[in-house]
Amino acid sequence: MEPENVHVKGAPGPQPKQKLLERARDIIRLKHYSIRTEHAYLNWMRRYILFHHKRHPQEMGPAEIEAFLTHPAIAGNVARSTQHQAFHALLFLYREVLGISLDDAGIHAMRAHKKGTLPVVLTKDEVQRVILATTGVDQLLAKLLYGSGLRLIEGLRLRVQDIDCSLHEVRVRDGKGEKDRMTLLPEALQMVMRDHLERVRMLHEHDLATGYGRVDLPHALARTYPNAHREWRWQ
C-alpha cells in the first residue's frame, strides 16, 4: 500500500487523501516532464519505499537515501547515469512532493564509477544493415531517425502536420528541455513519406466512417479544440 494523505508545502487547508505516488505523478505532469522521466521517477520512488519496507518517506531522510543508492551501486552494478537518475527522482520526491529540503552535501552515497570506455559508432554499412533488418513502418521510422537526427520518442510522437514534404522539413515539438526545433527531411524519404501518409490518410478516413479515428491531444488542446482529435493533421 502506498503512503496516503501527503501534503505539499504551501498548499492551503486540508486536502483529500491521495496516494503518494499518484500525487507525485500529478506534480510531474504539472511541470511538463517527459513521459519517460515520469515513469522512471515513479519507478525509483516505488523501489525506494519498498526497499525500506514501505516506510513513509517523511519518516526517512539522507541516511535512508544513501543506503538505497549505495545498494544498487554494489549489488546491481548499475551505470552511473542510472544511479544519478535515481538520486534526482528522490530529490524530486522530497522537495516537490513532500516539501522537505535535503542537504545534498549530506548525502554521500557511493556512486557507480564512470567507465572510460569509448562509444560504439556504426559504420555506414552497419547502419544500412540494421535498417534493412526492419520492414514497413519500422523501417521508415528507422530511416527517419537516422536521416533527421531524431530521438526515438520524438519520432514516435510526430503528427501529420509536423512533416512538410514540400519544404523538406520535420518539426519537433516539445523536445528535450521542452524546446521545439526544425530538422531536415532527407531527400531520399520524400516519396516514401508521401506514399505512407496517403495510405494512412485513407485508413484514417475508414476509421472515421466506422466511429474510430481519434487520437490523444497534448495538454489542454482537447478542451480548446473539441474536434481536433478527429482531424487528419493531428493524427
**Structure confidence at residue 209 (pLDDT):** 93
Verdict on whether the full-model pTM lies above 0.75? no
**pLDDT band, residue 66 (cuts 50/70/90):** confident
CA distance 127 to 40: 29
What ranges in the chain are assigned the alpha helix state H?
20-30, 35-51, 62-71, 80-92, 124-132, 136-148, 152-156, 190-209, 221-224
Residue 229 has pLDDT above 80, yes or no: yes
User: For residues 45 and 21, is the Cβ–Cβ distance under 8 A?
Assistant: yes
Residue 115 has pLDDT above 70, yes or no: no
Catalogue all structural domains in the chain, each as residue range(s) with its CATH number: 20-106 (1.10.150.130), 124-234 (1.10.443.10)
Residue 225 has pLDDT above 90, yes or no: no
User: How far are the Cα atoms of 42, 45, 55, 97, 122 from residue 49, in angstroms, in the given order?
Assistant: 11, 6, 6, 14, 41
**Structure confidence at residue 106 (pLDDT):** 55
**Structure confidence at residue 104 (pLDDT):** 58
- Ramachandran class of 64: left when φ > 0, alpha when ψ lies in -120 to 50, beta otherwise: alpha
Q: What is the pLDDT of residues 21-57, one digit of tens each?
A: 999 999 998 888 888 899 999 999 999 999 999 999 9
CA distance 62 to 48: 12
Residue 171 has pLDDT above 60, yes or no: yes
**pLDDT band, residue 176 (cuts 50/70/90):** confident
CA distance 201 to 159: 12
Three-class SS of residue 164? strand
User: For residues 232 and 197, is the Cβ–Cβ distance under 8 A?
Assistant: no
User: For residues 90 and 65, is the Cβ–Cβ distance under 8 A?
Assistant: yes
Residue 76 has pLDDT above 80, yes or no: no
Residue 13 has pLDDT above 50, yes or no: no
